[in-house]
Structure formats: C-alpha cells, structure tokens
Amino acid sequence: MCRYIFTVFLSIVSLLCLTSANDKRILMSDPTYVAQELNHLQSELQQLQAKVSTQEQTIASQQSVITTLTSQGGKGVVYIRWGRMDCPEGNDNQLVYSGYAGGSWYDASGAAANALCMPPDPSWGPHMNATLTYPSYLYGAEYDEKAVFGMTDYNEDVPCAVCRNSAHSIINMVPGRTTCYPGWTEAYGGLLTSGYPKSHSANEFLCMDGNPQAIVGGGNTNDNGRLFYAVLAQCGSLPCPPYVNNKVLSCVVCMI
C-alpha cells in the first residue's frame, strides 16, 4: 500500500514538473490543493481496500466449496425414483424429499412432456392469487394399469422420491434392461412407462419402480391428470430379435 502511495506521489510530482515554474510554486504552496490531492489518494485507497475485501470473501467461499467437494470425492447425483416414497437402501442414497408425481392433463394437446415430482410442502410466491389470461395447469398422476403395477384399480395416485447419491457422479436410465452394464451400480429398476399413444399430449419415457406404492389417502376417485402406462416393444424399425413384439419393456437406473 505504501508503494502505491509513493507511485502516485511520483506521478503527481512528474505532472507538476510539466507546468511552469510559477504554477508549480503556486500549486505546491497551496494547502487547499495539497489537501485535495491527499483526499483523492485516501479515496482511492479505500476503494482498493473494498475490492481486496470482496476478493478475499470470494476466495474464501470458493475454498469452502472445494473443501466440501474434495471431502466427497467431487461426486454426487440427484435422481427421481418414480412410484416410491423412499430412496433405495444403501449405496450412499439419501432422501431429499418425497412427494407427488404430477404433470399436464393426459389428453391436452399443449401439454408439457415431462413429469414433475411435486414436494409435499409448497411455498407460495407473491403472484399466487394472480388472474392469468392464458394459464397452464398441473395435475397429479395416476397409474392407468392395474396388474402390471400391482394396483387394485385405476384410481391409485403416484408418489415419487427425489434422491441424492453422494458416491457417484453420473446417472443414466437404461430402457429395455433389468440390470446395469458392467462397472455401473443400480439405483433402482422397474417398468418403462410413458403416456397413452392415442392421447394428444406428449410424454417422456420414465422408469417406474418395480415395486411401486400408492399415495396414502389417494385413489378414491378417477381424477386422471398425468397418466402412467407400461410400454410394449413394437417390431419393425426396432429390430426383433433381439426385441420381441408386444412384450412389456423393463428399465433400470444406473450410476457410476
């Protein structure tokens, strides 16, 4: 800091040397001018101190993140377990929250393709009572198959669980398999699901747990909403073999 002050002082002196001798004598002997220059230097020093303090805080924050990632081996993935209210036991799985599967209406032509895992404790923002001119809608979800999902009727509602795994860094859903490829660890496995092909809405393929649960207290009425259907293989562009026509496809979620 002292070196910076000395450098600025030399700059001022050099500037003064370029002025006339008379102007130089006036400036150097003017206490108001000297006070102004000192105040200017003090202001610059305060700005530099503020920048240094901000940089030190940023460095400390980054070091904290690095320390956390290092202690965890730099790993961690988050995934949704569809059809369950819990995460698989072992393999460093932790429950973030369990909630309700949701999405667009099953037959809406402008439906969103993806399903969501809605938390059980929503917090409402400042626009919760706003009147919308062109609203979109979000519904709960139901199993629309009985035997294959092990449900008593078509009215059972679908739960979900958001899980974090701290031992792995990559996760992938493999359709059409019941086991992971060598080197990968299974998170969970089950049935490949999607929407009904004659509906107008788009749907993504999701892996429903092989031992699905129903939301407690749900299933009293057929509310539809986002519907889950099992998926059959269709030969043609999909080669048979190895696939078999009209057979229910499995899935497995794998981590590495």
How many domains in the chain?
2
- Residues 151, 231: one domain? yes
Q: What are phi and psi of 255, to 5 degrees?
A: -130, 155
Q: Quick check: 186 and 252 in contact, CB under 8 A?
A: yes
Q: What are phi and psi of 162, to 5 degrees?
A: -90, 120
- Residues 113, 221: one domain? yes
- Residues 140, 92: one domain? yes
- Residues 181, 55: one domain? no
- Residues 154, 31: one domain? no
Q: Identify residue 27 by its one-letter amino acid code.
A: L
Neighbours of 201 (CB within 10 A): 19
Give Cβ neighbours of residue 205 (< 8 Å, ≥ 6 apart): 173, 175, 192, 193, 194, 231
Neighbours of 210 (CB within 10 A): 17
Quick check: is 129 in a domain? no
In a structure prediction context, what are the per-residue pLDDT tens digits for the chain, which is 256 residues long? 545 444 544 555 454 454 444 555 555 567 777 778 788 888 888 888 888 887 787 777 666 555 555 555 557 899 999 999 999 987 789 999 999 999 999 999 999 999 999 999 999 999 999 999 999 999 999 999 889 999 988 889 999 999 999 999 999 999 999 999 999 999 999 999 999 999 999 899 999 999 999 998 887 788 999 999 999 999 999 999 999 999 999 999 999 9
| Final residue before a domain boundary, out of 32, 47, 71 | 71
Provide the domain limits for residue 180: 75-120+136-256
The pLDDT of residue 218 is: 80
Quick check: is 131 in a domain? no
In angstroms, how far is CA 191 from the centroid of its own chain?
25
- Residues 153, 40: one domain? no
Using a 10 angstrom Cβ sphere, with 0-12 exposed, 13-18 middle and 19 or more buried, the burial of residue 101 is buried
Quick check: is 109 in a domain? yes
The pLDDT of residue 26 is: 54
